[in-house]
Amino acid sequence: METSAMIFDLNSVSLALVLGLIFLVLFEMMRIHFTKAQYPPGRRPFPFVGTVPYFIKDPMGSVRSISQFGELSTIYLGRKPAIILNTLEINKEALVQEGSSFSGRPVIPVIEWITKGLGIVMVTYGHTWRQQRRFALHTLRNFGLGKKSVEERVLDEGHYLVTEMLKDEGTAFDPQHALQNAVSNIICSIIFGDRFEYDNKRFAYLLKILNENFMLTGSPVGQIFNLVPFIKHFPGPHQKINQNATELLDFIREEVKEHRQTLDPENPQDFIDAYMLEIEKQKSHEDSTFHEENMVVSAADLFLAGTDTTSTSIRWGLIFLMDNPDVQERCHKEIVQVLGYDRLPSMVDREKLPYTYATVHEIQRCANIVPLGVVHETTQPTKLRGYDIPKGTMIMTNLTAIFSNKEHWKSPDTFNPDNFLDENGHFYKPEAFVAFSMGPRVCLGETLARTELFLYIVSLLQRIHFSWPPNSPHPNMDGILGLVRYPEHFEIICRSRDAKDRQ
């Protein structure tokens, strides 16, 4: 009798669970139906996980399909809708004309897990963001951003980079570490007051885990974490994200400790020195957001942003230049005609190198390293093209659609520097070139990135010929979509232009 009762109870519980699950799914489907009516069109989301499965299956294919729904469309990150701005005009209307309403940042669980809501890049629009961004811009300018001193640092590093790239001349190698180290050394000189040699194993390891975290955070591992963040309490591949972030932040804390011992209040040497002095200065202000942990995370933000995006753009650039040897040769000839082989380039040379300067911009357009931009969030209820958009709605810029729009580009689907040249062969920048975003959240490091991209690429093309190794597999041009869009692993062969052209 007791056994029969137990079986009955188990059956009842199982039936209740099944019915509860069916009710939950039906309720979610009804919620989706009514939610979709309030937002711009888009692919039909799955219950609970939204449109995430499409992006996991085919990331870039899914990104390219978004604009088919019109100037505004919607994707669903789990149960949360995100509105995609698919045209230049709608982006200007939202991010510039209504900038204060569209300049927030959403709480993204995987980012919140490792930053604790601190720093600059992912802090929401408000007092903290204003204080930290204003201080960062002021301090970066004090230490050379936009001035000749940073240009000189890039040129010095460019010399080391060319030497490193030619170290194994004629032998196939992966250029990722050399490029990442060279780019990182510029922001490191501003934040930490020092650069790191290319054979520094500790720094090479830090660059490796930095790259790994950019990949993991934007990969299915990171997307699943954002859907079910309570898994942070359990083992799994997501724990690598936190482990890597902890190691990077510990590295910065060690730098802070060393800076504290050498700090000269009358002569700050770098960003960390300046931040420590600002903490002391702001101690009496109740609304101050300056404290040591914010310093550590802000330094990490600048370090990450100043390392990965520019080096990734140059890596894509090498692929485009090797795929288009005629462009590479034309750039080299133009550079040599203006600079010769020995004179270092300068930012003032941009006007004298219109084709090369156009090529640098075309690399950025085709690299398209952040296909949906850096995510924004509405800071208050607002309207856009007839839609009522609630406060806290995620907003994304479809750079993929803007960079391939036939209305803006002569050759939208191919790598062609003529996209940035007028009928007289002079450089011009179309309004649709918005690689650094627009409005209040425009990229903090735009000036530095522009300087590095131009000077590094000119320095490399002046002295080196790049080619594919014989019979090497060509990387898939969709790349790998993490927080940024990376090229697949590839190798190159470098040959000195000095040896080749002076014989």
* Token pair of 391 as six digits: 């406060």
Task: Please list the ranges in the chain whose pLDDT falls under 70.
Answer: 1-36, 145-148, 499-503
Distance between CA atoms of residues 82 and 221, nearest Å: 20
Distance between CA atoms of residues 424 and 328, nearest Å: 21
Residues counted in the chain: 503
- What local confidence, expressed as pLDDT, does residue 18 receive? 64
Question: What is the pTM assigned to this prediction?
Answer: 0.91
- What local confidence, expressed as pLDDT, does residue 34 receive? 59
Q: Which tens digits make up the pLDDT trace of 214-250?
A: 888 888 888 889 988 999 999 999 999 999 999 999 9
Task: Tell me if 455 sits within 8 A of 158, measured CB to CB.
Answer: yes
Amino acid at 62: S
Our CA angle for 453, 60, 93, nearest 5°, is: 70
For domain 39-501, the CATH class is mainly alpha
* Token pair of 185 as six digits: 């050394």
Q: Which SS3 state, helix, strand or coil, does residue 85 take?
A: strand
How many CB atoms within 10 Å of residue 341? 13
Q: Which tens digits make up the pLDDT trace of 350-375?
A: 999 999 999 999 999 999 999 999 99
* Token pair of 128 as six digits: 């903290």
- Indicate the DSSP class of residue 487: P
- What local confidence, expressed as pLDDT, does residue 502 receive? 47
Nearest CA among 368, 397, 370, 388 for reference residue 94: 397
Per-residue burial over 147-170, b = 16 or more CB atoms within 10 Å of its CB, e = otherwise: eeebbebbbebbebbbebbbeeee
Domain residue ranges in the chain: 39-501
How many CB atoms within 10 Å of residue 85? 29
In angstroms, what is the C-alpha Rg of the chain?
Answer: 25
CA distances from 165 to 261, 298, 325, 466 (A): 37, 31, 19, 10
* Token pair of 172 as six digits: 């196939």
Distance between CA atoms of residues 417 and 421, nearest Å: 7
Give Cβ neighbours of residue 239 (< 8 Å, ≥ 6 apart): 232
Q: In what order do the strands lie in the sheet with 72-77?
A: 72-77, 80-85, 394-397, 376-377
Amino acid at 495: R
Task: Tell me if 166 sits within 8 A of 460, measured CB to CB.
Answer: no
- What local confidence, expressed as pLDDT, does residue 49 receive? 83
Task: Tell me if 497 sits within 8 A of 78, measured CB to CB.
Answer: no
- What local confidence, expressed as pLDDT, does residue 365 receive? 98
